[in-house]
């Protein structure tokens, strides 16, 4: 399967590229094609150290998406409109996968148009250091993406709660459950197979795309717990 990772030069994009490349054709996209090529070369050197001959390619976001079966959006929330506008003209039958989490540091929002819900504290106050899920007007990042995509393009929301550094460290064994949200069982099945393709990850069907907010909001929760309790490699596991 041909997979394009838009935002593939970032920390979480790097992890997906390294972990998925052993079974799929991987291309990482970036707004800067030279940056994409440099990152692809870096990832290939890492794979070579682990005895892999798989090759990751680097190009611009639009070209990466055009040639893919699955387009994984490993981008910042604020970049959603520009990225979707860029790739919309070339979308045909690609499945879009969102790993986007809208969150803010030291402030909480009801939605992006609201004033922050914050009690003033001094910068030295330990309790000021936290992350909070910033609920988008549509309800979640995935729902906003769904509103911007052309009719007929299937969207799946998944992979939100995997620690980026752990994902990119091939010496680390993963043992997490991965929520999968979407309105099409066909596309959810394909993404679930991608999850299973990474050893010790288990896909779990959460429901339609409207349930994505619940899964997205777990990411800032996990970051807060990990940082305040000196925990590493924190993930989600249902037992």
- 170 vs 201: CA distance, rounded Å: 14
Residue 232's pLDDT is 86
Residue 53's pLDDT is 84
Residue 128's pLDDT is 58
- Beta bridge partners, 202, equal 177
User: Percent of the chain having pLDDT more than 70?
Assistant: 90
pLDDT classification of 233: cutoffs 50, 70, 90:
confident
What is the DSSP track for 116-128? PB-----TT-GGG
Paired sense of beta strands 2-6 and 25-30, if any: parallel
Residues 6+ apart with CB under 8 A from 133: 101, 102, 103, 108, 213, 216, 217, 219, 220, 221
- Beta bridge partners, 27, equal 4, 57
Residue 101's pLDDT is 96
CB 179 within 8 A of CB 217: no
Q: Kindly tell me if the per-residue pLDDT of 28 is higher than 80.
A: yes
- 18 vs 230: CA distance, rounded Å: 27
Residue 119's pLDDT is 45
Q: Please give the CATH number for the structural domain made up of 2-101+139-211.
A: 3.40.50.720
* Of the listed ranges 50-59, 69-78, 147-156, 202-211, the one predicted with least confidence: 50-59
Domain-by-domain residue ranges, the chain? 2-101+139-211
DSSP letter assigned to residue 23: T
User: How big is the chain, counted in residues?
Assistant: 239
pLDDT in tens, 113-165: 444 444 444 445 555 578 889 999 999 999 999 999 999 999 999 999 999 98
Residue 127's pLDDT is 58
| Extended strands (E) in 57-210 | 57-60, 70-73, 95-98, 103-105, 131-133, 155-158, 176-182, 201-207
CA 10-13-16 angle, to 5 degrees, is 155
- 113 vs 30: CA distance, rounded Å: 28
pLDDT in tens, 186-228: 999 999 999 999 999 999 999 999 999 999 999 999 999 998 8
| Extended strands (E) in the chain | 2-6, 25-30, 57-60, 70-73, 95-98, 103-105, 131-133, 155-158, 176-182, 201-207
pLDDT classification of 110: cutoffs 50, 70, 90:
very low
């Amino acid at each position: 399967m041909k997979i394009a990772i838009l935002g593939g030069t970032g920390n979480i994009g790097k992890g997906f590229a390294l972990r998925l490349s052993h079974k799929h054709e991987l291309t990482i996209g970036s707004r800067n094609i030279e940056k994409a090529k440099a990152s692809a070369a870096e990832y290939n050197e890492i794979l070579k150290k682990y005895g892999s001959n798989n090759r990751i390619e680097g190009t611009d976001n639009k070209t990466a998406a055009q040639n893919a079966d699955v387009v994984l959006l490993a981008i910042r929330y604020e970049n959603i409109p520009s990225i979707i506008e860029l790739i919309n003209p070339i979308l045909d039958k690609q499945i879009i996968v969102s790993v986007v989490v809208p969150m803010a540091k030291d402030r909480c929002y009801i939605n992006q148009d609201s004033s922050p819900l914050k009690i003033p504290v001094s910068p030295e106050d330990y309790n000021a250091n936290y992350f909070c899920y910033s609920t988008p007007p549509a309800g979640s990042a995935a729902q906003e993406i769904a509103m911007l995509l052309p009719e007929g393009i299937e969207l799946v929301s998944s992979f939100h709660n995997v620690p980026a550094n752990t994902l990119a460290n091939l010496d680390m064994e993963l043992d997490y459950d991965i929520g999968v949200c979407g309105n099409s069982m066909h596309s959810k099945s394909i993404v679930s197979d991608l999850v299973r393709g990474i050893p010790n990850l288990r896909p779990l069907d959460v429901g339609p795309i409207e349930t994505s907010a619940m899964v997205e909001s777990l990411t800032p929760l996990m970051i807060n717990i990990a940082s305040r309790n000196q925990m590493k490699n924190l993930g989600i596991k249902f037992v």
